[in-house]
Structure 1
């Protein structure tokens, strides 16, 4: 019954009116009127907003569409500043920078926000501010005695920032558009080589062929990761995220192209091979055939998590990681609600509205790009209208909206939200501008015009007009309506150039229709408690709470009720459980429990161990990192554990010790050794964000103006047999 209601509401939202000068939604209405001098006036539940004439102008049959395009430009003008500030930097004093700020509530430059916004077209609108902001997020190393390089900064974040969060690589998604400036291009090439090399050293897992770290932008862990990560982010540092791996794939592709342009044939070959291998690993590891979707993240041992995110899915499609029918399925199977597409799915019943139960316009813009990539007119229409509706009903391009109502606040007790929101959020502003320039008028990165316009949008955009146009400084794009509309997608037919005007006569084609998925359950089940594991008869007895799905060492054991036996040949397993809900959707995993007693080595460095049997072993450190809160900071401790076993080459294992609430285990590395060998373990200093010169301006915590901090209280070294299957 719920799915029928949602489908009816979705149809009503699309076809009830043409959205010319007004829009109705959930009992409220907005109206756009044209005023003298080329401006607009928007009236709605937020009040009234007057919008002056802008330098770019859309001319369609819809004053609402055209006026919201002007509103986005007005928002962008307010986000264009000569100085930025944040309380955690330089004690909140203004920092000169001809830049874009992140939004009304965020007068600073953040790596991921700026990078996605620039990629969504701001590179074309204001290249000076785009470059300046990106330069601001580059840094060299402040200690001359440390290995030098030019690196993209990971902003303050989960457990002390990089390498718990590793999506700083998104910077190159933006920088690739601005290489016409020779000096900037030189910085990009240097930073690309240095940043990729550093990530290869500290966050790449050669056994799985993937990069570790948090999902891009989904950085409030309780919203999208298991609830138990609220107190311990080591799981996140050990895990693999779809979005972050796709971003690394795109950075490797760029590196191969730039190496070729710099006559570095060996570098181009190396990067090209790494990109191809990463693409294959993403498709092998993240694709879930029974869902026809890419999972949002995997556990560090490869454990699948029945959770999905729209940004990762869209990036996979746009980048070409997902191809052909798989790309079409991934988008078609991602659920939609009448107001738009959620940024994560399924939702969490115990979490407030923010990433959970929410629409984010910048993610909708990437979903729109993905829909254009696979020629999906239904999804193009859906994401375009969602972006329009949000801006119209709020009177600004807000950061996020509640999923069902598309409101900026829903009162739901302790789950109320969005918890945090902001007008004129930069990537939301960019989303609207990109929706117009590329989503409707088809303006591609290289300047070509490739419209893919659903026939369902003709009543709104064309009305009775023969043509619509986009006027930009130095260029005009005109789309001419075809004589007939026999089909469901309008694409370029004849293209003529008349001076600075490109005139495209559209033609209608019929493409396979992919209906929106409107029957998906909203919530995932609540995760069960952790299993209890005890040794029994050369194996392990696992006790669980009721009916669950059991996982051991990255593999699905199956459905069990109460208890089961695992034969591991004497190797103690690490297990977790999920609970099934509607349509077989699984909850997030319970806490992970590892059986057996590891070998414990203490008493200083180096530490020595005699290998009992040939094979692979999991090695971790017991530690405590008191340098900051688990939510933020730049002082995740990073070390290199060097293992020298008799007769073998040294093995170097990166170990991450995020901020902690007490003593806990670090991330683990895998060491291989032969029976009887004597292995010596030593620690070498690693690298974290506090080592960057930029963070000498950080006054919000340790590792900033008081100097780099990369340490932790380190206790025992723990060794256990490795049972995961790479």
Structure 2
């Protein structure tokens, strides 16, 4: 694979960001009275439809990480945590797909790996790695989808690492849960710290920011239940003291400045000091499942070459069969490291062990 191959590939996470960028551009254009708002909206919808059409894996019940190839693109069925999470947070998924992704994604002992399964002969970094900021996005998606089991697992992944290492490292080795062994690492990493703080602001306190103000939708697993207070939170021209009581993902009551409120919302033009007290309904939301998987590494990719009318490749240790793709589509399954092909018809072949 070279830079040209990467250029033509179509990645889940990248397209999720492009989708959201167009949604934001649409909103800005509408605010400015710019006629291009409709163009941005149309492009966003096209990207959304393409993601769901080309990358959704019906059997696995989550998205593929990307399409790739030279002239005929094929789907790489690996799981990509950040892209999956962003697709949920940006509403590229519908609620049913969001719940399916969170419940069926392969999670490892020490957290959600950047990709799954791992790639052989690649040192731990993005491969065989857990990044707290990616874990944080995954936790936000789990909270949004209402999966208590997955959220507890994800919170534990962040708090275990920070508590054990006494700092917020950039990443850790998925196989060991240790910061030692990755290609590059840094402590007090800003995006890891931001992810840790976001668990308080955006999960336990449930803050959702918009141009109009802050909505509060706390999500607190039962094992994290109790009273939580965030004091002196600076929001525009206001200072907020926020308390969340109990556990669950449903609100029983809201008090703003000591008075009952019909919704947990603070307007963006508010000024001065204010208090928000939210009582949760103490409801369980652990009905959906979680897929805890071993930190599996795939076999190496065979390197085929053409010898006469035979496509041949070295035997791969541990391989029980080989899947041959022709022009991006499944072509043959063989037990031998070779296959007869029609050399008179140009085609692109790929082999997977």
Give TM-score, length-normalised by structure 1: 0.42
Give, in whole Å, the separation in 2 of the partners of 1:328 and 1:344.
Answer: 19
Give, in whole Å, the separation in 1 of the partners of 2:252 and 2:87.
Answer: 29
Give, in whole Å, the separation in 1 of the partners of 2:184 and 2:156.
Answer: 23
Deviations 1:367-392 (A, max 9, x none): 01110121111111111121111111
CA gap of 1:255–1:534, structure 2 versus 1, over 3 A, is: farther
- Could you tell me which runs of 5 or more consecutive residues in structure 1 were left unpaired when the two chains were aligned: 1-228, 410-416, 483-488, 536-540, 580-726
Aligned to 2:256: 497
Deviations 1:512-554 (A, max 9, x none): 623321234511111112242756xxxxx54455631111112
Aligned to 1:273: 42
Aligned to 1:508: 282
1:475 to 234, 240, 253: 240
Aligned to 2:20: 250
1:349 to 108, 115, 120: 120
- Could you tell me which runs of 5 or more consecutive residues in structure 2 were left unpaired when the two chains were aligned: 258-272, 316-320
Aligned to 2:206: 442
1:292 to 40, 58, 61: 61
Give, in whole Å, the separation in 2 of the partners of 1:567 and 1:257.
Answer: 53
Q: Is the contact made by 1:491 and 1:506 (CA closer than 8 Å) also made in structure 2?
A: yes
Q: Secondary structure at the match of 1:256?
A: helix
Deviations 1:649-690 (A, max 9, x none): xxxxxxxxxxxxxxxxxxxxxxxxxxxxxxxxxxxxxxxxxx
Q: Is the contact made by 2:102 and 2:147 (CA closer than 8 Å) also made in structure 1?
A: no
2:107 to 336, 343, 358: 336
Q: Is the contact made by 1:453 and 1:491 (CA closer than 8 Å) also made in structure 2?
A: no
Deviations 1:273-320 (A, max 9, x none): 111111111111111222222111211432111322111111111111
Give, in whole Å, the separation in 2 of the partners of 1:560 and 1:371.
Answer: 40
Q: Is the contact made by 2:108 and 2:294 (CA closer than 8 Å) also made in structure 1?
A: no
TM superposition shift of 1:572: 0.6
1:389 to 160, 176, 179: 160
1:430 to 185, 194, 197: 194
TM superposition shift of 1:490: 3.7
Q: Is the contact made by 1:444 and 1:450 (CA closer than 8 Å) also made in structure 2?
A: yes
Aligned to 2:172: 401
Give, in whole Å, the separation in 2 of the partners of 1:321 and 1:365.
Answer: 19
Give, in whole Å, the separation in 1 of the partners of 2:118 and 2:137.
Answer: 20
CA gap of 1:381–1:529, structure 2 versus 1, over 3 A, is: same
Larger radius of gyration: 1
Q: Is the contact made by 1:361 and 1:428 (CA closer than 8 Å) also made in structure 2?
A: yes
Give, in whole Å, the separation in 1 of the partners of 2:97 and 2:341.
Answer: 35
Q: Is the contact made by 1:298 and 1:305 (CA closer than 8 Å) also made in structure 2?
A: yes
CA gap of 1:364–1:292, structure 2 versus 1, over 3 A, is: same
Give, in whole Å, the separation in 2 of the partners of 1:321 and 1:566.
Answer: 41
1:263 aligns with 2:67: no
Q: Is the contact made by 1:384 and 1:439 (CA closer than 8 Å) also made in structure 2?
A: no
Give, in whole Å, the separation in 2 of the partners of 1:427 and 1:234.
Answer: 30
> 1:122-201 maps to which residues of 2 (within 5 A)?
none
Paired residues in the alignment total 322
1:517 aligns with 2:295: no
Q: CA RMSD in A?
A: 2.1
